[in-house]
Structure 1
Amino acid sequence: MADGADYAADRDQSGSTTVDLSELRRRNTPEPVTFKRRELDRILQVYSRMVAEGNCRDYAIDHLRDKAVFAAFRRTSEVPLYRIEKDPSRARKQGAFAIISAAGVVLKRGHELEIVLKYFDKPPRLVR
């Protein structure tokens, strides 16, 4: 049988098992999904451009067990204009990254964040 440290449990003289619940929960609880530093840098570049254009004023980041969410708000009290989500469970299917509108419509989805964030790039205009 493996030692007690592997199972966060110890046997006392009577043969009963003592389990350290905090250690067991820590081992059984998956780490939340997070944005990597380069991903977050690129998202914040897009967000800062939206702030400079006057479209956004606030943002929120949420790291959940199943996905990471960056939400951009026009005002703090409103629903987010856009949500940029990273959902690893969709990585092999439609792609881990998605841009979702305030109405819940998926605007763009893909495997690479750079390509997905091109949704926010404005098309070139003819200057006369």
Structure 2
Amino acid sequence: MNAPFGISSQHDRVAFDRSELGLILSVYGRMVAAGEWRDYAMSFLREVAVFSVFRRAAEHPLYRIEKRPRLRGAQGQYAVIGMDGRILKRGHDLANVLRILEKKLIRPVD
């Protein structure tokens, strides 16, 4: 059922819950502290919730963290997608999927 005036209700949208956002913002905070990321945006659509990460404002996102509940029974509802559109990691456990981003923090010591 749609809300009046063509505005969809929040029940028609996919969103991250509090625990999911906590995991995402934890990784985001570490990457900001490391100087890798500077900005983010969130989109809550009918089929997907997206957390986009930017190095600078006004550019394409470096990564997109997506939640697609329709894929819950198949490959998994969570995915990390790179700037070029490739799926870097997909799965059922958000913490496990986000580990692909934490690998970016590990650098060799000179």
SS in 2 for 1:84: strand
Q: What SS does the corresponding residue of 2:29 show, helix, strand or coil?
A: helix
2:21 aligned to which of 15, 27, 40: 40
| Shift in CA distance, 50/29, structure 1 to aligned 2, threshold 3 Å | closer
Structure 1 residue 101 corresponds to structure 2 residue 82:
yes
List gaps (5 residues or longer) in structure 2: none
Q: Which amino acid aligns with 1:87?
A: R
User: Is the Cα contact below 8 Å between 2:39 and 2:54 reproduced in 1?
Assistant: yes
1:70 aligns with 2:33: no
Which one has more relative contact order, counting CA pairs under 8 Å at least 6 apart? Answer: 2
**TM-score, normalisation: structure 2:** 0.84
For 1:117 and 1:43, how far apart are their aligned partners in 2? 8
RMSD: 2.8
The C-alpha deviation readout for 1:22-65, integer Å capped at 9, x for no partner, is: 56x78999520000000001100000111111111000000000
2:60 pairs, out of 68, 79, 91, with 79
If the length of structure 1 is used for normalisation, what is the TM-score? Answer: 0.73
Alignment partner of 1:104: what SS?
Answer: coil
Structure 1's unaligned 5+ residue stretches are: 1-20
